[in-house]
Structure formats: C-alpha cells, structure tokens
Structure 1
Amino acid sequence: MLRSTVTLLWRLLAVLALVAGAIGVFVPVLPTVPFILVAAWAGSRGWPALERWLLDHARFGPAIRDWRHRGAVPRRAKWYATLAMTGSGLMIWWFPLPLWVQAGVCVVMACVACWLWWRPE
C-alpha cells in the first residue's frame, strides 16, 4: 500500500508540473522548461512511460537531456528567463509591499539570473 501511495504522489507531482509547464507556454512570465524538467524528474521516480515520452519529445527532449548530462541551459532560454525576471522585478515595485520584500525578491531574482548565466550552454 505504501509503495502505491508513493508512486501515486510522484505521478501527481509529474502531472502538476506538466500542467504548469503547459500553462507556461501561453503565459509569458511562467517558465515552461523548469516545470518540464520537474515532470521528467518526478516521472523517472513514479511514471517511467511519462519520462520516456518527455525524453523522446521533439521540443522538450533535447533540453531535458542537456540538463541531465551537462546542466546546460540554452542561450535563448537564458535570455527569456532574464527578461521575465527583469519585467517581474520592475512590476513588483508597483505593488504596495514593504520595501524589504520588494528588494528581497529583486535580489533573489538577480542571484538566480547570475546562476543561470554561469550554466553551460
């Protein structure tokens, strides 16, 4: 019973990540590829057929394989992510949030952008 519950939870995570990634195709500020990577990772633990399908997918398969083998991120994805984080950082200043929250979010996104650009391509 425990094993089937764990498998079900891995599958649920994979499906949720896949749905979030699909939404990210249509919503510009929601990244697609990180959710697809999570879906493949969760699928490898509880749904091997989904993992195989994602690895063989014409659009997402190469990105998943590059990430798994070299931790690589395509330059185009780096630019999209940087632009999305910059836009989000600019938009957050319009919200009535405490200054420390606004600055903290921007610092975190800047750190993520630096990490991202240090990844191989």
Structure 2
Amino acid sequence: MATEAPADPPTPRRLHAALRLGWLALGFLFVALGVIGALLPLMPTTIFLILATGCFARSSPRLEAWLLDHPRFGPTLRAWRRDRAIPRRAKMLACSGIAGGYALFLLTAAPRWPLAVAVAAIMAGCALYIVTRRTAR
C-alpha cells in the first residue's frame, strides 16, 4: 500500500494571501453589519465601520481609502483614527439608541430582574465608554 506524501507546509506567500483574504472577508462582513445598522435604529453603525476600516487597512488600501473618504462616514472614521474622538452628535445618538434599545428590551422581553440588571450593566458600560471618549472637533 502506497502512503501519500505529507502536504507541503504553506509558504509565507500563500499564508500571507490567506490572511489577507481573511481580513478582506471580515472587512466586508463589518461593512454589511454597518449598512444594516444604518437602516435599523437600534443597531450601531460606526463601530462596525471602524472595524471594517481596520480590516481593510490590513487587506485592501483601496477599500480603506474608500471608507475614509466616504462623504457620510469618512469624517467620523478619520476623527476616530486621528484622535480616538467621537463627535458630540454621534455620542448623543449612540446613547439615545442604547437607552431606546434597553427600553425596548424591557418592554418586549419582560426579563426577570437578574437579566435586566445584567443587560443594564453591559449597556451602561458601553454608554460610559462612549461618553468618556474625546469629543471630535
């Protein structure tokens, strides 16, 4: 019985190409989630686009530039990259969305108090993170 020779280990070039494709696929996933977030009021948009920009920075400079130059989202993404800052309006919208999402959760899910407190703590932590970032100029 003949034994098969073991497969050659991946070359650095093939490994690099696979990683690049992985980053690219992840970037497209985050863009899709960001688009959904732009359409649905309770789902965030900007965080997914920030993540997509980071993924594209590792895989496609052209797509990274496209996001950074986008007329609607580009200024926010550039402010985050440059200063780790969030515009005041975006902070207000994000915190309002968090509060609205929690209210909707309470009304529709009618959770028992331990779950309600746990979700409130997580959402309050997210809002606190947003509020404590620098405000973009």
The separation in 2 between residues aligned to 1:22 and 1:10, in whole angstroms, is 18
User: Which stretch of the first structure deviates more once superposed, 27-36 or 92-101?
Assistant: 92-101
The separation in 2 between residues aligned to 1:11 and 1:100, in whole angstroms, is 39
Query: 103, 111, 119: which is aligned to 2:117?
Result: 103
Deviation digits for residues 83-109 of structure 1, max 9, x if unmatched? 111111122223154432221111111
Mapping 1:11-90, distance limit 5 Å: 11-90=24-103
Structure 2: 5+ residue stretches without partners: 1-13
Q: Give the aligned residue type for 2:44.
A: P
User: Identity rate of aligned residues, in percent?
Assistant: 35
Q: Give the aligned residue type for 2:123.
A: M
- Which structure is larger by alpha-carbon Rg, 1 or 2? 2
User: Which stretch of the first structure deviates more once superposed, 36-45 or 101-110?
Assistant: 101-110
User: Which stretch of the first structure deviates more once superposed, 61-70 or 90-99?
Assistant: 90-99
Structure 1: 5+ residue stretches without partners: none
TM-score by length of 2: 0.82
TM-score by length of 1: 0.92
Query: 131, 134, 137: which is aligned to 1:117?
Result: 131
The separation in 2 between residues aligned to 1:113 and 1:22, in whole angstroms, is 21
The separation in 1 between residues aligned to 2:74 and 2:39, in whole angstroms, is 19
The separation in 2 between residues aligned to 1:60 and 1:91, in whole angstroms, is 27
Two-structure CA RMSD over aligned residues (Å): 1.3
